[in-house]
Amino acid sequence: DVRYIYHGNDGTSTPWNDTAQLDFLKAEVREAVIRKTIEVARDFPVIRFDAAMTLAKRHFQRLWYPLPGYGGDIPSRSAHSVSQEDFDALFPEEFWRELVDRVAREAPDTLLLAEAFWLMEGYFVRSLGMHRVYNSAFMNMLKNEENSKYRDVMKNVLRFNPEILKRFVNFMNNPDEEPAVAQFGKGDKYFGVATMMATLPGLPMFGHGQIEGFGEKYGMEYRRSYWDEGVDDHLVARHEREIFPLLRKRYLFSEADNFVLYDVVGEGGHVNEDVFAYSNMAGDERALVLYNNRYAEARGWVRRSVGMSEDAGGGRRLVHKTLGEALRLSDDDTVYCILEDFREGLQYLRHGRTLCTDGLFVHLGAFKSNVFMNFRELRDHDGQVKRLYEYLGGRGVPDVASELQELYLKKILDPFRTLAGRSFLIQTVREGVSRGDVSDAFLQALAGFMREVRVYLYAWRDEADTVQVVGAVHSLVKSLLNVPSLKTKAPKRLKPCIDYLFSRIPESVTEDLRWWRVPLLWGIVSMTGALVEQQAVAVKSRVLMDDLLLGKVVRESLTALGLDEGAARHELMLIQTLISSRDWYDRADREGLGRVMEDLFADTDAQAFMGVNEFEGRLWFNKESFEDLLYWLFAISVIRSAAVTSGKMRLDGERVLKSFGYVTSAAASAEKAGYEVRAFLSTVR
């Protein structure tokens, strides 16, 4: 009598030749497997059951003990048919239910994960009590863009009990399947599905090599990889930007108590099944996730949820929620809501009542996703929020609070934008250098700007304060515009100083405007603090630059003059440092150069401009940036030492010489210190 041992088999393809099939119809076999599982659980806190669905009663019966008259899915087993009555007598309880209950009693801290295909994921959780279930429908349906089917999976779970979503293990590849890169690619579709995986309740699972973009399918018997693959740095970087921050917020997404799935309703009232829209909450934090899993644009309203089961005091009931109800938004007509797009870094302002009654209109490109977080509500006390809402017209901005502040400051910023505008600066330099003075248009814009600043700060103050400050700025800019005359008219004893000053001024002073933008913008802003008080003008001016959003306008001006964003930010740091250091020469004369340098290195703007950084426990700074800063400190000292009377430029020669001595001494000390902060500050005098 020849006997054979069957390999494991799920009836869909060839047997699994690395397994032997146990006869679970026998109670002693089921008991032995349960005992072995508990034994393993004492050493390992997590246990995964491969192809667990094959041991569900109906599938074990179908595969190994088919009903009489049915061939079964394994042809050779038709001779071993068993009646339903006899099968139930020998296999009375679901094996997995029995195993889960026994593990709960005898190894209670064990997490059990089951791989359960064939749309049995929900059954394994609902009826068999499995702690976690591999959700293959997530991978397969989203890969094939069977979006309606996967929405049905989610809706069926939500109608039964949303808590089941927490039990799903969502993944985009596993060792039995093709790698994620082969199934989803490396573009927007991959990152859209990965976004869903990172933001749905349950457990997100990344496969080996998924983040690195590896394409080799690993077998469980592999001791090493056989393909020579390199890490896709671009793919890793995009994970770091778009996926990892979401994973760090799993507390916001992992629970199901506040999870809500919405219909996206397009034109004609039809539900767009290709768009997944859902929200979740944790405490006061709220998130709304949108993903269009189709190579087509999608538009529609997110307003009403699908049916969801909720506890109703001893029973359950089916409910639908609006977007406003789910996110607990106020429908007060004076309340507006800020929502921030995590990917774009933009904030959107929406009317609270509109969100509650009509919902949120969304427009998604092919395979595009949005994750809205940081929901905040603003009450409109004076109509300014409504004005901003109407002005923005639905578009996103980097910071709604700044935009609102800018709206409040419009009367100040409009004339300042004129003064700092590209065309106005160019005109001021080209006409001002030739005539040695500013135009009437410049003075009018300057006076308008300073007047509005005064009114904003101290409406009761006398107009004379404005006139005095405008006069001081006029003198400063007038001296600046006459700097070119110093090349030929400065005293000989100042030649080294003037040569140093002109080492960065282009020959064609009115054609090449690169040199002028820094001192002009500095000159306009550096006296605003005098409208507050005559003491500590530099400090007050620097504070006003932030409070009045002047820095934002300056950065806009610098980009309009041809700088890229990075260079504009760098030059803004320089201008802000110069504003704070307006009186550096006078302080150096009173307290010594060392004290000025200490304060300079304590200034956050100056630190950023000089590239102060820590390496091996010590602070260092950038040689070139420090030399740039010294040059401009000297330049503003020269400008402040000058006066133009009767068309002639007069310099305080002593001040120029001493300023030059200070900056050359600082440069020498920095070189001697090797551009290490502590060593420099201990030697500079």
Same domain, 172 and 264: no
CATH code assigned at 272: 2.60.40.1180
**Distance, CA of 135 to CA of 139 (rounded, Å):** 8
Residue 225 resides in a domain? no
Most confident of 195-199, 429-433, 653-657: 195-199
Higher pLDDT: 118 or 128? It is 128
pLDDT of residue 79: 79
Segment 531-574, tens digit of pLDDT = 888 788 999 999 999 999 999 999 999 999 999 999 999 999 99
Name the residue with higher pLDDT: 643 or 448: 448
Please say if the pLDDT value at position 220 is more than 70.
no
Tell whether 53 and 90 lie within a shared domain. Answer: yes
Tell whether the model's pLDDT for residue 464 goes beyond 80: no
Can you tell me which residue has the tokens 């349960």?
A: 34
Buried b or exposed e, range 422-448, using 16+ CB within 10 angstroms = bebbeebbebbbeeebbeeebbebbbb
Q: What percent of the chain has pLDDT over 70?
A: 98
Mean pLDDT estimate for the chain: 92
Say if 179 falls within a structural domain.
Answer: yes
Residues 184 and 320 in one domain: no
Choice among 200-204, 276-280, 338-342, 648-652 with the minimum mean pLDDT: 648-652
Report residue 302 as tokens.
Answer: 């997110």
**pLDDT value for 87:** 92
pLDDT attached to residue 436: 87
162 and 278, same domain (yes or no):
no
Sequence-distant (≥ 6) Cβ neighbours of residue 659 within 8 angstroms: 497, 585, 633, 634, 637, 638, 641
CA torsion through residues 587, 591, 594, 595, sign: negative
Task: Tell me the mean pLDDT in the region 382-397.
Answer: 93
Nearest by Cα to 291 from 275, 278, 280:
275
Do the domain assignments include residue 1? no
CA-based R_g, the chain, Å: 36
What is the average per-residue pLDDT within 56-62?
A: 90
Cβ atoms of 300 and 378 closer than 8 Å: no
- Are residue 239 and residue 268 in the same domain, yes or no? no
Q: Is residue 548 part of a domain?
A: yes
Compute the distance between CA of residue 196 and CA of residue 267 in angstroms, rounded to an integer: 25
Same domain as 288, residue 171: no
Res 127: pLDDT: 85
**Last-in-domain residue among 369, 399, 429:** 399
Rounded average pLDDT over 356-385: 95
- Name the DSSP class of 647: T
Q: What are phi and psi of 372, to 5 degrees?
A: -95, 130
Give the C-alpha distances (Å, rounded to integers) separating 193 from 145, 155, 182, 646: 10, 18, 14, 73
Residues 484 and 559 both lie in one domain: yes
| Biggest distance spanned by C-alpha atoms of the chain | 125
pTM: 0.77
CB contact at 8 A, 682 and 601: no
Interval 170-218: pLDDT, tens: 999 887 788 999 999 999 999 999 999 999 999 999 998 999 999 988 7
> Quick one: average pLDDT of 107-131?
86
pLDDT at 11: 80
Quick one: 284 and 335 in the same domain? Answer: yes
Tell me the C-alpha distance between 642 and 651, whole Å: 4
Residues 450 and 384 in one domain: no
The whole-angstrom separation of Cα 601 and Cα 448 is 35
CATH code of 34's domain: 3.20.20.80
- 635 inside domain: yes
DSSP 397: B
Nearest to 524 by CA among 646, 421, 630: 421
Please check the confidence at residue 459 and state whether its pLDDT lies above 60.
Answer: no
Q: Let me know whether 339 and 374 are in one domain.
A: yes
Average pLDDT for 459-471? 79
| Cβ 391 vs Cβ 406: under 8 Å | no
The confidence score (pLDDT) of residue 474 equals 94
Percentage of the chain beyond pLDDT 90 is 72
Q: Is the confidence at residue 165, as pLDDT, over 60?
A: yes
pLDDT at residue 177, as a whole number:
81
- Within a domain: residue 21? no
Band of residue 509 on the pLDDT scale cut at 50, 70, 90:
low
| 460 part of a folded domain | yes
pLDDT at 246 over 80: yes
1 vs 432, residue with greater confidence: 432
Q: What does the pLDDT read at residue 415?
A: 94
Buried b (16+ CB within 10 A) or exposed e, 567-601: ebbbbbbbbbbbbbbbbbbeebeeeebbebbeebb
- Pick from 272-281, 394-403, 639-648 the range whose average pLDDT is largest: 272-281
Q: Is residue 18 part of a domain?
A: no
β partners of residue 447: none
Confidence of residue 70 (pLDDT cuts 50, 70, 90): confident
Tally of structural domains, the chain? 3
> Is 652 found in the same domain as 521?
yes
User: Do both 425 and 450 map to the same domain?
Assistant: yes
pLDDT tens digits for range 623-637: 999 999 999 999 999
Residue ending a domain, choose from 368, 399, 430: 399
Comparing C-alpha atoms, which of 624, 607, 639, 637 is closest to residue 670? 624
pLDDT at 46 over 70: yes
Give the range of the structural domain holding residue 563, as residue numbers without chain letter: 411-683
